[in-house]
Amino acid sequence: MRSALSVLRETWGHDAFRPSQEAVVNAVLEGRDTLALLPTGGGKSICFQVPALVMGRLCLVVSPLIALMKDQVDRLKERGVRAQAITSAMDPGEVDRALEAAAYGKLDFLYISPERIITEVFQARLSRLPIGLIAVDEAHCISQWGYDFRPSYLRVEEVRDRHPGAPVLALTASATPRVAADIMDRLRFRAPNIVRGSFARPELTCWVSRGEDKLGRLARIATKVPGSGIVYLRQRSGTVRTASFLRSLGIPAEAYHAGLPHAERARVQQAWSSGDVRFVCATNAFGMGIDKGDVRTVVHLEPPPDLESYYQEAGRAGRDGQPSFAFLLTHPTDEARMRERFAASFPRIQEVRAVYQAFADQHRIALGSGQHERYTLDLRALTQRARLAASTVSNALKALELDGSILLSDGVRTPSRLGMRADQRVVYDLRVRDQRNGPLLEALLRMHGGLFEEPAIIDEDRLAHHLGWPFKRVMSQLHELHAQKVVLYQPRSDAPTVTLLTPRRDAQRLMLDDAALADRKQRAAARLEAMIDLAFRTGTCRERFILSYFGEPADADCGRCDRCRAGARSGASPLVQGAATSTEELRWWLEANGAAPGLSEIRTP
């Protein structure tokens, strides 16, 4: 058996593990159930990838993030590792082949979403899978005390039932002590075992700035602090406006949010990763799995709803260990807006029913049908049909997801698929006699074998080039053949999707668990208050406050944040003095820390 260090060297080219990684790897190789609490950028994937390759058995990876699954699979394949992800974009034949490959020992890693566990085809193969390790990513999702609870995660314990000898490695970047205990209980750890990487980030300075002119403060930061950065906002429209504002200052910036086409999101991320774009202005859709170490600045133009989200997003700065900055820019009205958003995030049952009914009507889903079917989510059309505000519709969908009725997925590139629906005799006749569609059918059958047996991924651009036709003509005739029931055609899509996890119910009889909703609201309220305390109330060191929230004692104040610097200058907390962390203090801090020369021109608006 190869050693863990030799696998790390041969497969990833690293000579040593990062802090805490080695302890996690060793615990897994000893067969111990392990909860790895590693901050953002701590290299969590290595913690299960290395021991799985040392064991030489299948590692089942449970993750809620399709884009992250695909990214990790691609990276593993580039290194010659046998890996496959099962996603909702795959047809039944592809899913079946992936599971067969795993069952016959042809895969080292199989990535699935937690919702996949309940499907019949997965349950039928589960006992045959040679699982040596169960890795549960984003493990806080299994805890009802966590900030992103997903009921489908509770099914992970079924994998344990069928493979009791395989150790479980649960991984998360954000878990309070209560959530950590709940994770181990839900996953039925044989003995409590936590490997906790320090949440302290000595290279990262957290700074909260209060005032009226957020864009003015952003401009000062962007022009005076060198390097690349991320600006986080809550609304998609805000990302576009902010990117435009930065570009007006001559700063290369782009917007990124889940509503953009896949190709545009990929372009923006690539331009930012390569350094062609300095700043990405984004919603929280941006950042999961990014591998860019030289991010110098993360700016929050609005406070996130909880400390978990804030610290995970802020932690995307300074992964290379160099001095970096996390700025939270607040406005006197932000606290009231946070409370308004919180109240709106728990819709009434009548609103949830209206959205459920509108979605079923939109897709013509009959009562008792639709289970495990995936449907495109057109939020604008759904909002119009339900006659509710877009925020209410979004929160009603989230309530249905938390109740276990649906699964929401952000837009992920889904390729076009086509299979033959008519029998071979009919298709042959059309190829010979139909001058309009015959050449297209001929090209399809020549370019893709086995279309009568199962659908295949097709490329409309390649078809158009092969036929010498305009792209629009190819698309039009494919839709025409689908309408004639000659082919089964599913065009490519970048849209977000909704998967029904239960058969469609009568909306008027739809009930949510009132007690569970009340508990969830209470927990969310506690997380909101912690974020408000950090942003507006605490007079203590920012890092000490954050570490305390995550259950990590701090030996001393960080000496870098706005509270520490203000105290060092005046000998007292600015909160005690009744002062606010202003742009003038921000200017002083930038000068004191030598972020860039010539900062004296920064003035308080």
Q: Is residue 377 part of a domain?
A: no
pLDDT at 291 over 70: no
Q: How far is CA 436 from CA 50, 122, 269, 310, 433, in A?
A: 55, 43, 41, 57, 9
DSSP string, 345-399: TS--HHHHHHHHHHHHHHHTPPTT--TT-EEE--HHHHHHHHTS-HHHHHHHHHH
Residues 96 and 175 in one domain: yes
Q: What is the mean pLDDT of residues 128-155?
A: 85
User: pLDDT higher for 407 or 362?
Assistant: 362
Given a cut of 70, is residue 12 above it in pLDDT?
yes
Q: How far is CA 232 from the centre of its chain?
A: 14
Confidence of residue 574 (pLDDT cuts 50, 70, 90): very low
Position 204 in a domain: no
Residue 210: closest CA among 575, 599, 576: 575
User: pLDDT higher for 592 or 282?
Assistant: 282
User: Do 265 and 232 belong together in one domain?
Assistant: yes
User: What would the pLDDT profile of 206-221 be if each residue is shown by its tens digit?
Assistant: 999 998 899 999 999 9
Same domain, 477 and 586: no
Q: Could you tell me if 24 and 146 lie in one domain? A: yes
Residue 329 phi, psi (nearest 5): -100, 115
Note the Cα 367 to chain centre separation in Å: 32
What pLDDT sits at residue 580? 39
- What pLDDT score was predicted for residue 183? 93
If residue 196 lies in a helix (H) or strand (E), which one and from where to where? strand 194-196
Residue 387: inside a domain, yes or no?
A: no
Please count the CA atoms within 13 angstroms of the CA of 253 that sit on its side-chain side: 26
State which of 490, 506, 540 marks the end of a domain: 490
Considering only residues 312 and 24, tell me which one the structure prediction assigns the higher pLDDT: 24
**16 to 5, 34, 75: CA distances (angstroms):** 7, 21, 19
Q: What integer is the mean pLDDT of 538-548?
A: 93
Backbone angles phi, psi at 352, to 5 degrees: -65, -40
For 271-286, what is each residue's pLDDT tens digit?
Answer: 998 999 999 999 986 7
Mean pLDDT of 300-314: 92
> How many C-beta atoms lie closer than 10 Å to residue 389's C-beta?
13
CB 384 within 8 A of CB 395: no
Strand partners, 299: 231, 327
Last residue of a domain, one of 164, 196, 228: 196
Q: Which residue has the higher pLDDT, 218 or 67?
A: 218
191, exposed or middle or buried, with CB in 10 Å at 0-12, 13-18, 19+? Answer: exposed
Q: Assess whether 45 and 90 both reside in one domain.
A: yes
- Tell me: do 140 and 230 sit in the same domain: no
* 465-487 mean pLDDT: 93
Q: Is the pLDDT of residue 578 over 50?
A: no
Q: What is the mean pLDDT of the chain?
A: 86
Averaged pLDDT for residues 301-309: 92
Q: With 90 as the cut, is the pLDDT of residue 374 above it?
A: no
Q: Do residues 319 and 444 touch, judged by C-beta distance below 8 A?
A: no
Residue 356 clears pLDDT 70, i.e. is over it: yes
Task: Round to the nearest angstrom and report the end-to-end CA distance of the chain.
Answer: 65
Q: What's the pLDDT score for residue 293?
A: 82
Report the pLDDT value the prediction gives residue 592, as an integer from 0 to 100: 46
Q: How far apart are CA 393 and CA 538, in angstroms?
A: 35
Read off the pLDDT band of 601 (50, 70, 90): very low
Cα-based torsion angle of the residue sequence 52, 54, 57, 58 in order, rounded to the nearest 10 degrees: 20
Residue where one domain finishes, among candidates 442, 475, 490: 490
DSSP 256-306: E-TTS-HHHHHHHHHHHHHTS-SEEEE-TTS-TT---TTEEEEEESS--SS
Tell me, yes or no, whether 104 and 40 share the same domain.
Answer: yes
Q: What is the pLDDT of residue 563?
A: 92
Listing DSSP states for 540-589 in one string gives: S-HHHHHHHHTT---SS--S-SHHHHHHHHHSS-HHHHT----HHHHHHH
Q: Is residue 391 part of a domain?
A: no
Average pLDDT rounded to a whole number, residues 566-594: 47
Instruction: Grade residue 64 by pLDDT with cuts at 50, 70 and 90.
Output: confident
Q: What is the pLDDT of residue 582?
A: 47
* pLDDT confidence tier of residue 52, bands split at 50, 70 and 90: very high
Q: Which of 602, 532, 601 is closest to 208 using CA atoms?
A: 532
Q: Is there a domain that residue 406 lies in?
A: no
Identify the H or E element spanning 442.
helix 438-447
> Distances in Å between the alpha carbon of 459 and those of 144, 168, 247, 291, 463?
43, 40, 36, 30, 6
Q: Which of 54-58, 89-93, 130-134, 502-506 has the lowest mean pLDDT?
A: 89-93
Task: Tell the residue number behind the tokens 């399709």, with chain if given.
Answer: 66
Q: In percent, how much of the chain has pLDDT > 90?
A: 56
pTM, to two decimals: 0.74
Mean pLDDT of the region 501-512: 91
Query: Span 110-116, mean pLDDT?
Result: 90
* 599 has a pLDDT exceeding 50: no
| Per-residue pLDDT tens over the stretch 334-349 | 999 999 989 888 889 9
* 263 has a pLDDT exceeding 90: no
Q: According to the model, what pLDDT value does residue 227 have?
A: 92
Instruction: Give 304: exposed, middle or buried? Use CB within 10 Å, 0-12, 13-18, 19+.
Output: buried
Name the pLDDT band for 573 (thresholds 50, 70, 90). very low
Contact residues for 21 (Cβ-Cβ < 8 A; gap 6+)? 38, 42, 43, 46, 47
Q: Is residue 399 part of a domain?
A: no
- Say if residue 155 is in the same domain as residue 15: yes
The three-class DSSP label of residue 499 is: strand
> Distance between CA 580 and CA 276 in Å, rounded?
36
Question: How many C-beta atoms lie closer than 10 Å to residue 281's C-beta?
Answer: 28
pLDDT digits (tens, 9 = 90+) for 477-496: 999 999 999 999 988 776 77
* 400 part of a folded domain: no
Does the structure show a pLDDT above 60 at 14? yes
The pLDDT value recorded for residue 576 is 27
**For range 358-378, the mean pLDDT:** 90
495-505: per-residue pLDDT in tens?
778 888 889 99
Instruction: Band the pLDDT of 289: cuts 50, 70, 90.
Output: low
pLDDT at position 554 over 60:
yes
Q: How confident is the model at residue 540 (pLDDT cuts 50, 70, 90)?
A: very high
CA 596 to chain centre: 34
Is 379 part of any domain?
no
Mean pLDDT, range 579-586, rounded to an integer: 46
Lowest-confidence region among 6-10, 260-264, 272-276: 260-264
Give 261's pLDDT tier (boundaries 50, 70, 90).
confident
Q: Which residue has the higher pLDDT, 66 or 562?
A: 562
pLDDT recorded at residue 431:
92
Which residue do the tokens 């996949």 mark?
116
Q: Are 94 and 150 part of one and the same domain?
A: yes
Do 544 and 475 reside in the same domain of the chain? no
N residues, the chain: 605
Domain containing residue 460: 416-490
Structural domains counted in the chain: 3
State the DSSP code for 448. Answer: S
One domain, residues 187 and 225: no
Least confident range of 53-57, 68-72, 180-184, 304-308 = 68-72
434 and 544 fall within a common domain: no
Looking at per-residue pLDDT, the higher value among 578 and 536 belongs to: 536
Can you read off the two tokens belonging to residue 38? 């590693």
Residue 74 has pLDDT above 50, yes or no: yes
CATH code at position 42 = 3.40.50.300
pLDDT at 304 over 50: yes
pLDDT in tens, 138-148: 898 888 676 66
